[in-house]
Amino acid sequence: MRLRKASALAASVLALSLAATACGGGGDDDTISIGIKYDQPGLGLKTPDGDYVGFDVDVATFIAGELGYEPDQIDFVESPSGDRETMLDRGDVDFIVASYSITDERKEQVDFAGPYFVAHQDLLIRDGESVPNVEAINDLTLCSVGGSTSAANVQEEFAPDAQLEQLGTYSECLTGLENGTVDALTTDDSILAGYAAQEQNQGKFALAGLELSDEYYGVGVPKGETELRDDINAAIAKMVEEGAWQDAVEEHFGPANYDAEPAPEITETD
């Protein structure tokens, strides 16, 4: 489906792969490319077997289905927080479903469909420790991901004096939290709950329980792709209406005891 910004090279690669498929006698070779996270249990996780599981994966798969793509026609591509706008702009992916908060700053570079989910920023700390209030965060060494709203909120909103280490993924921060190089990992509670519930992390971490922001997750689309955005909005509305949205929430957040907010109203329209 990605023909929008096809460079000469990309076009020739496409021509080659079409030719290869034609030679192999394949049928419909059209695929859709969707950016997700690979290391966020509950939302987007690539398993050791090469499967993709999580709420964002289910939302992405439902949308793809509404756009006419079977699950085996989806190419999932890892889209780390700091790369999302660039990936959409370059045409690396058709759209992104990756705990991607809708913000005015991001809307200067990309468009969003949705929102389809609401989360809140929180801190993940070592079990047995506590952070009594927002002011106390200023005394901590935090880890978050570069290019995320989580890192920006710390610096611009609620803890400008905190030490903030910015890494490429939240799972890298988790290692720092475990071995004591940072006091807390900060991002959306939906993501943190997934880490805390992982089997290998049982009893190790806990959420501080501070609702530090409202994060409205949107589906990122390349700037100006309004038709695609509208089709995705219709798909999200259908997923909610048919109950598949609620089923996915229960399946993916239930095991982490994460109490998800109800489906938000879709606002990203003209």
Beta carbons of 40 and 170 less than 8 angstroms apart: yes
Return the number of the residue (33 or 187) whose C-beta is nearest ligand GLU: 187
Query: CB 133 → ligand GLU: shortest distance, Å?
Result: 22
Q: Which is nearer to ligand GLU, 140 or 185 (CB)?
A: 185
Which residues are CB-neighbours of 104 under 8 A, at least 6 positions away? none
Q: Tell me how far apart the alpha carbons of residues 236 and 231 are, in angstroms, rounded to a whole number.
A: 9
Cα distance between residue 192 and residue 187, in whole Å: 7
Q: Which amino acid is at 100?
A: Y
Judged by CB, which is closer to ligand GLU: 69, or 217? 217
Query: Do the Cβ atoms of 106 and 197 come closer than 8 Å?
Result: no
What amino acid occupies position 185? L
Q: How far is the CB of 15 from ligand GLU (least distance, A)?
A: 35
Minimum separation from the CB atom of position 216 to ligand GLU (A)? 9
Tell me the closest approach of the beta carbon of residue 82 to ligand GLU, in angstroms: 8
Q: Please identify, using beta-carbon distances, which residue of 98 and 210 lies nearer to ligand GLU.
A: 98
Query: Which residues are within 8 A (CB) of 259 and not within 5 positions of it... i.e. 6 or more apart?
Result: 253
**CB neighbour list of residue 147: distance below 8 Å, 6 or more residues apart:** 80, 81, 82, 83, 84
Give least dist CB 151 to ligand GLU, A. Answer: 8
Q: Would you say 69 or 192 has its CB closer to ligand GLU?
A: 192
- Cβ of residue 101: shortest distance to ligand GLU, in angstroms? 4
Q: How deeply is 187 buried, as exposed, middle or buried, from its count of CB atoms within 10 A (0-12, 13-18, 19+)?
A: buried
- Whose Cβ is closer to ligand GLU: residue 36's or residue 235's? 36
Residues engaged in binding ligand GLU (CB under 6 A):
81, 98-101, 145, 148-150, 187-188, 215
